[in-house]
Structures are given as structure tokens and as C-alpha cells.
A and B are shown apart, each in its own frame.
Chain A
Amino acid sequence: MEPSTDQPGTSHSTTNPISDGSGENNGQFECNICLDTAKDAVISYCGHLFCWPCLHQWLETKPNRQECPVCKAGIGKDKVVPLYGRGSTNNQDPREKLPPRPQAQRPEAENRNPGFPGLNFGDGSFQMSFGIGAFPFGFFGTLFNINDGRPRPPPFGGAQYQDEQMLSRVFLWVAVILMFWLFFL
């Protein structure tokens, strides 16, 4: 019996905060994004270590704001240096073997609701009034979190229809006044 050694699983097994077997380096060589030992490591000019796939995904997430996740210094594909450890079998630049680039996306803008009831003027001469007239509707839409389908236009001749006709005329006049203001200021 050797009670002093070999007691796996007892409570005093380790004091290492990351005890998954690879944690003996105290986090010095861990990627700042996945918190794992950096693979295909690159280092930024500001000195912060990342896996290239991790950093690449972050740069893709924020294409307009290329900042180091740790210190917010400028960062980019041309502002990192690949690290090659001894005996690593492939010394290919990690930046060349990119993870498959996600396709560019063009998500729909929020609150893009086609057609506002009561704002169809019938002729094309008042294109501009749509943009202006639509503003208060869009505003109220976001204010009350109405993002789904808008109610159908009310039946012709009802009281609500009259109201909306009135509203649309008001917006039309607002648009006309705005146009005059724009042209003759």
C-alpha cells in the first residue's frame, strides 16, 4: 500500500485553474479567443496571441471595425505575424490556409415593410413623398416593436379609409412643402 501517491480523483488533485491536461503553461500560449492552446498561431503587432482561424472569424464578424479583441489596437491580415514552433511539420503560413470564407451576406434591413396603406398616390410623380411620408410610420413601428405584417388596407369608403386618405394628403403636403424648402432655400 502506498497511500501517499496515485490518488487520482481525490479533491486535492490539482490547483491549476485549467485542469484539462494541457494547462501547464499557465495560459501564456493560449489563444485570446478560444482560450485553448493557439493552433496556427499568429501574433498581432500589439503582442496578442490568437489562432488564425479564431482571429479570422472575428475579423469577418466585424469587417468595419478591425480591432485587436484584447487591446483594441488596429489589426488585420497584414498586421499579424505567424508563429512557427520547433518541429511543427507544416510551416505553411496559417493565413494562407484560411478556413472556408463565409459567403458575403446582405441581410434584409430591419423594418422594411413593403407598401404603406393609404400612401399609394396612383401616379409616379411623387416618388419622394414615400420616403418622407413613410418616416412617422417607421418611427412608430420601431417604437412599439411592431415588426411583423402590417394590417391590410381597410375597405374602401369606411371611416378608417377616410382617415387614411386624410393622413396621406397631410403627408403629401408635408412632402410638397419639404420639396419647396429644398429647392428654394
Chain B
Amino acid sequence: MAGCFVQKRIQKEILTLKNSPPPGMKLCDDSLSSPGQFMVEVKGAEGTLFAGEEFKLLFKFGQSYPFDSPQVTFVGNQIPVHPHVYSNGHICLSILTEDWSPALSAESVCLSIISMLSSCSEKKRPPDNAFYIRTCSKNPKNTKWWFHDDKV
């Protein structure tokens, strides 16, 4: 029963992303084959450091979604160079862990990530990138983040 609840909500999110995607994001149709996950392509907003760049975000949903946050990482060759994005695609963003709320969705996560990219003033990796990618777990949700301050 819980599984059906999760699937239903994910299906609704997929439908919304498919039929009325907000500007700057697009559901990757070819990513829908495996249940419980999908990919969204996000575009860097015009007039920002990431204008014209496109990135892929992989969303993986667990059995306790939406009470637990999805696992969200950048995938593919294009990983944005940003102080909160590690070179393995892990993202340090509080709504993905402790500030998650079940009223959030894949769409609102994408919006937050686009705005995180937009507010960037210098393209650089997090200071602990080299150490983190050597030692981290595959699932960013296992990382105990301490959140960098909001002014990027």
C-alpha cells in the first residue's frame, strides 16, 4: 500500500513535469524506464554564470518518499562548477536533507537548484572537494552536511 502511494505521487510529478514544465527544466523521457527514478535536464538561467549550460539531475525516490527526501545528484559529463556542488555530482543543499518537507517536489527541488546556480558569483569547487569525493558514500543522503552559508 505504501508503495502504491509513493508510485502515485511520483506519477503525478512526472505528469506535471511532462505537461507543464516550468521554464528552464525538461524531463528526460528516456529516463522513465526504471521505476522510482527519473532525470531532469536543467538550464542555467540567462544573465548568470551558467547561462547557456545544461545539466542533468538524477532523482531517486525511496519507499518513504515524500516523507523522506529524494536522492538528487548531478550526473553525466556536465557537472556545474559551483561552491556547493562536488565534482562527483553531490549537492550541498539543505532542502535535500534536514530542511526537506513533503510539500516539496522534484520541480521545486529543480527550481531551488537553478536559483542556487544563478546566485553563484564565482565558478569554483567546494574547498573540501578532493577530500570529500575520496571519502564520501555513494548516496549523498548519507553525508552529514554542515551547510555552507547562503551567500555564495
A positions within 8 Å CB-CB of B: 15-20, 32-36, 48, 54, 57-58, 61, 67, 69-70, 72, 142-145
Contact = CB atoms under 8 A, between A and B. Distances in A.
Q: What's the interface size class on B, roughly?
A: 20 to 34
A90 B16 CA distance: 33
B15 A32 contact: no
> DSSP majority for the A interface?
loop
A19 B15 contact: yes
A19 B137 contact: no
A164 to B, nearest CB: 25
Contacts of B101: 67, 69-70, 72
Contacts of A17: 15-16, 19-20
Given A20-B15, A145-B135, 19 more contacts: A15-B19, A18-B15, A19-B15, A20-B12, A33-B66, A34-B8, A34-B9, A35-B9, A35-B12, A35-B105, A36-B8, A36-B12, A48-B103, A58-B67, A69-B103, A69-B104, A70-B103, A142-B144, A145-B136
A145 B137 contact: yes
B55 to A, nearest CB: 24
16 contacts: A16-B19, A17-B16, A17-B19, A18-B15, A19-B15, A35-B9, A36-B9, A48-B103, A58-B102, A61-B64, A61-B68, A69-B101, A70-B103, A72-B101, A142-B144, A143-B135
